[in-house]
Amino acid sequence: MVVKKVFSSAIEQGCKVKMIYQKKDQVVARIVSPRHFKGDLVVCYDHFRRAQRNYKLANVLAAELVGGGNDNY
């Protein structure tokens, strides 16, 4: 899965990810800082919600690396 590779790279490099996510009947864009995988979920810090969130990889429609460096919260 290409999306999982993007998140894996972001975790290794300390980068953010811009993703398009299917949320019930909505499609939303989010900037997240992925932390680790938990089964079929990716655990991220969501910069819009300003909180940790879990996202189902199957619901991520697109993902790309953005920025770099580790974020401090």
3-state secondary structure of 73: coil
Inside any domain, residue 24: yes
Model confidence at 69, in pLDDT bands (50, 70, 90)? low
Q: How far apart are the first and last CA of the chain?
A: 30
d(CA 12, CA 28): 25
pTM (2 d.p.): 0.87
- How many structural domains compose the chain? 1
Residue type at 43 in one-letter notation: V
Q: What is the CATH number of the domain that holds 51?
A: 2.30.30.520
Whether residue 32 is contained in a domain is answered as yes
Q: Is the pLDDT of residue 1 over 80?
A: no
Q: Answer positive or negative: Cα dihedral of 9, 12, 18, 23.
A: positive
Rounding to the nearest 10 degrees, give the CA dihedral for residues 44, 63, 72, 42.
20
Report if residue 72 sits inside a domain. no
Q: Which residue segment(s) compose the domain that 52 sits in? A: 2-66
Residue 43 domain-assigned (yes or no): yes
Share of the chain above pLDDT 90, in %: 88
